Homo-oligomer: A and B are copies of this chain.
Amino acid sequence: MSEFTSARRRYVVLAPHALTSRAAKMAHGVIAYSSDSVVAVVDPDHAGKRVRDVLPYLSSEAPIVASLDEGLLLAPTSLLVGIAPAGGKLPDDFREAIRGALRARLEVVSGLHVMLGDDEEFAALAREHDTRIWDLRLPPAAPLFSGAAWDVSAKIVLTVGSDAAVGKMTAALELLRAARDRGVDAAFVPTGQIGIAIAGWGTAIDRVVADFAPGAAEQLVLEGERRARDLLFLEGQGGINNPAFAPVTLALLFGGAPDALVLVHNVSRDRIEDYDVPVLSYRALIRTYEGLCATVKPARVVGIALNTRDCDDNEARAQIERARSETGLPCDDVVRNGPHALYDAIAPALVKTEVLHA
């Protein structure tokens, strides 16, 4: 799995003309959840403002600057490529900023499919300036799935989605926070480039050769058990009827050997992103995910984490109520309302009684 130990990073985040778009979810994730700090974001469209001015829900005071050079004045240690476009290619206008960062001896951190470390120019610059490139998605050599994940004694909770990019990582990170607040020894198990950037370890399962993707997921939960005794929040990927990403979803569903599932849905989404395929109903999603688990290692959906970011308060409340009544399951928006209510409702299904009442 990817892992670079480092002192706490000070990031300049590169998101030119994109900070407020969905393409910048790497930037958003690290700003919101990393224990590293973000000293500046490069986006000339909003230069002079602070992140919280354009993205209030991130509550970040980090300044937005017009260029990398301005960011360098704030003593960063690392440049983060802040976008994660479908297909993972490097936009041409990013090359100059990456060259500049390497010349300034910054570590360059990227979650793109294309490996910056394989780029001859970047690799030479990194050597010349005695710095390094961390390709978050570079996967380890993974073994075939062995079944060892079935013997993990920590409870494994996998976030499963109605589609890609609906909030599975966020739900896992928020529920982790609630579990830790309740004194549970819990860990986040990162499976994608943004989660890896946030947690500092993990494997981008989507970048693993298909035959070995379940084995790579299994290795992650085995590592997770070394990091936390009670509870693992395994970051889900894709969606079970996303025609491009469903194989990765299934690699986590089988290879990650979850004991329980938390279903995540963005209530504003009714089609699978980029495809003319409808998002499934709550009941169809639950039936499909539980039905697949039942064929290998049974796991039930124990709660629903709704993403109501695009709703007003009344609409959000109505959506949460609708999901509860359609499914009979605990349901909440863990960003809007905090994770504690949903965590407390599902904890009896996740945590051994002695831990719950410790």
Contacts and interface: CB of A to CB of B under 8 A. Distances in A.
CB-based closest 7 A-B pairs? A241-B295, A247-B247, A206-B211, A145-B244, A243-B254, A247-B251, A210-B213
Interface string A291-308: 110011000000000000
A38 to B, nearest CB: 27
A275 B149 CA distance: 12
Number of copies: 2
Contacts of A211: 113, 206-207, 244-245, 248
A345 interface: no
A284 B244 CA distance: 25
A144 interface: yes
A250 B214 CA distance: 13
Interface in A275-331: 275-277, 280, 284, 288, 291-292, 295-296
Interface of A: 86-87, 113, 143-145, 147, 205-211, 213-215, 240-241, 243-248, 250-251, 254-255, 275-277, 280, 284, 288, 291-292, 295-296
A213 to B, nearest CB: 4
A254 B246 contact: yes
Contact of A295 (B87, B147, B245, B284): B284
Contacts of A205: 210
Contacts of A255: 243-244
B296 A251 contact: no
Given A244-B144, A288-B295, A295-B241, A251 B210 contact: yes
Of the candidates A113, A276, A292, A295, the one having the most CB atoms from chain B within 10 angstroms of its own CB is A295
Nearest to A253: B246
B210 A86 contact: no
16 contacts: A86-B144, A113-B211, A147-B275, A147-B276, A206-B211, A208-B209, A210-B213, A215-B244, A241-B292, A243-B254, A243-B255, A246-B250, A246-B254, A250-B250, A277-B295, A288-B291
